[in-house]
Every structure is written in C-alpha cells, then in structure tokens.
Structure 1
Amino acid sequence: MKTLLYRSFIGIFFGAFIAVILTNSVVLFSGREMLDGQLFLKNSLGSIFCGWFFTVTPLFFENVNLRLSQQTALHFFTVVILYFILAFGIGWVPFTVKSFLLTLGLFIVSYSVFWTSFYFYFKKQAERLNAELQGL
C-alpha cells in the first residue's frame, strides 16, 4: 500500500509537471497570450491522470506470482484501455477508426521499444549482480 501511494504521488506530480511544460511551450512558441481555461483544465487533468496510471501500473511487474508474459499482458492491456478511454474522452485522439489504428500502432511500437529497453537493462543488472556474487 505504501508503494502504491508513493508511486501515485510521483505519477501525479510528473503528470502535472508535463502539463505545465506543455502549457508553457504552447504559450511560448505559439504566440498565444490567452488560453482557454476549460481546455487547459481538461488537458491538465488528463496529463495528471495519465502520469498516475503510467507510474502505478508497473506494479504488475512486482507480482512474483505471475510469469513475465502475464505481467506484460496485464500491464499492456490496462495501460491501453486507460489511455484510449482518456485520449478519446479528452479529445487527444479523434474518435475515428483510422486515428484509433494509427495511435494504437504508434502505442504498440513505443510500448515495445520501452519494454525491450527495460528488459535488457534489468537483464544486464542481474548479470552484473550475479557476477559480483560469484566474485565473493
């Protein structure tokens, strides 16, 4: 429970940070002097929620009762479902078949790159730790 709360706060703060960075970028680079308050609130809350679920859902990978394939499937489907509900609801992705398939394809590619990177990183860490244990 402590880990869930800690990760929740980290995700919420990270999502809020991303929202501030994006908002400042829009103001700075688009030349806009005024922002739509309702649109800002909707996008900021979406970014905060997105940050929250992207930091909480990796807890699936800490469940030792599940195989890596099960952990990955649970994480992937949870994140995809939550992201697309959020993205369609807020309007980040237009509600069309073409935009859904394009976004899903990009999501799968991004997810695969991140998953593979983390897999090899932790595999390398395990090899390093095993080598250090062998040296004892």
Structure 2
Amino acid sequence: MKTFIIRSFIGIFFGGFIAVLITNLNILFGGFEMIDGPLFLKNSIGSILCGWFFTVSPMYFENRNLKLSQQTILHFLTVMILYLILALAIGWIPFNIINILLTLLISIVVYTIFWVAFYLYFKNQARKLNDDLKKL
C-alpha cells in the first residue's frame, strides 16, 4: 500500500508538471497571449490522471504470482482501457472508429518496442550479475 501511495503521488505530480510544461511551451512558441481556462483545466486533469495510472500500473510486474505474459497483458489492458476512456472523454482522440483503431495500432507498436527494450535491458543486467557471481 505504501508503494501504491508513493507512486500515486509521483504520477500525479509528474502529470501536473507535464500539463504545465506543455501549456507553457504552447504559450511561448504558439503565439498565444491567453489560454482557455476550462480547456486548461480539462487537459491538466487528464494529464494528472494519465500520470497517475501510468506510474501505478507497472505494479503488475512486481506480483511474483503472475507469469510475465499475464503481467504484460494485464498491464497493457489496464493502461489502454483507462487511456482510451480518458482520451475519448477529454477529446484527445476524436470519437470515431478510424481514430480509435489508429490509436490502438500506434499504442501496440510503441508498447511492443518499449517492452522488448526493457526485456533486453533486464536480461542483459541479469547476465552481468550472473557473470559477476561466477567470478566470486
């Protein structure tokens, strides 16, 4: 529970930081002199919620009772379902089948790339640790 709370705070603060950073960059480089308050509020809440569930959902990978394939499927489904609901509700993704399918396709490709990269990284770290243990 302590880990969940700590990660929740990290995600919430990171999401808020990203929202403010993107807004400031739009003001600086987009030529805006004023921002739309309700739009800022809606996008900030969306960013905060994304930050929260993207930092909490990797806790599946710490559950040793699940196989790696189960952890991966649960994580992907959790993130995708929550993100799609949020993005469609806020308006980040237009509500039509083509945009939803395109978002799913891009998400699957990006998720796969990141998953393989992390898998290879940790596999390499495990190999290094095993090599070091053999030298003892």
TM-score range, shorter chain: over 0.9
Matches within 5 A, 1:14-29: 14-29=14-29
Write the letter of the residue equivalent to 1:20. Answer: V
% identity of equivalent residues: 65
- Partner of 1:20: helix, strand, or coil? helix
CA distance in 1, matches of 2:118, 2:10: 19
Deviations 1:45-102 (A, max 9, x none): 1001001100100000000000000000000000000000000000000000010011
1:128 equivalenced with 2:115 (yes/no) = no
Unmatched tracts of structure 1, length 5 or more: none
Write the letter of the residue equivalent to 1:68. Answer: L
Aligned to 1:13: 13
**Alpha-carbon deviation of 1:134?**
1.2
CA distance in 2, matches of 1:49, 1:14: 10
CA distance in 2, matches of 1:135, 1:42: 56
RMSD: 0.7
Deviations 1:10-68 (A, max 9, x none): 11111111111110111011101111100000000100100110010000000000000
- Partner of 1:33: helix, strand, or coil? coil
Aligned to 1:67: 67
- Partner of 1:92: helix, strand, or coil? coil
Greater Cα offset, 65-74 or 120-129: 120-129
Aligned to 1:53: 53
CA distance in 1, matches of 2:79, 2:96: 20
Q: How many residues align?
A: 136
Unmatched tracts of structure 2, length 5 or more: none
CA distance in 2, matches of 1:124, 1:43: 39
Aligned to 1:82: 82
Give the structure-2-normalised TM-score.
Answer: 0.98
Write the letter of the residue equivalent to 1:44. Answer: S
Runs (4 or more) in structure 1 with deviation over 3 Å come to: none
- Partner of 1:24: helix, strand, or coil? helix
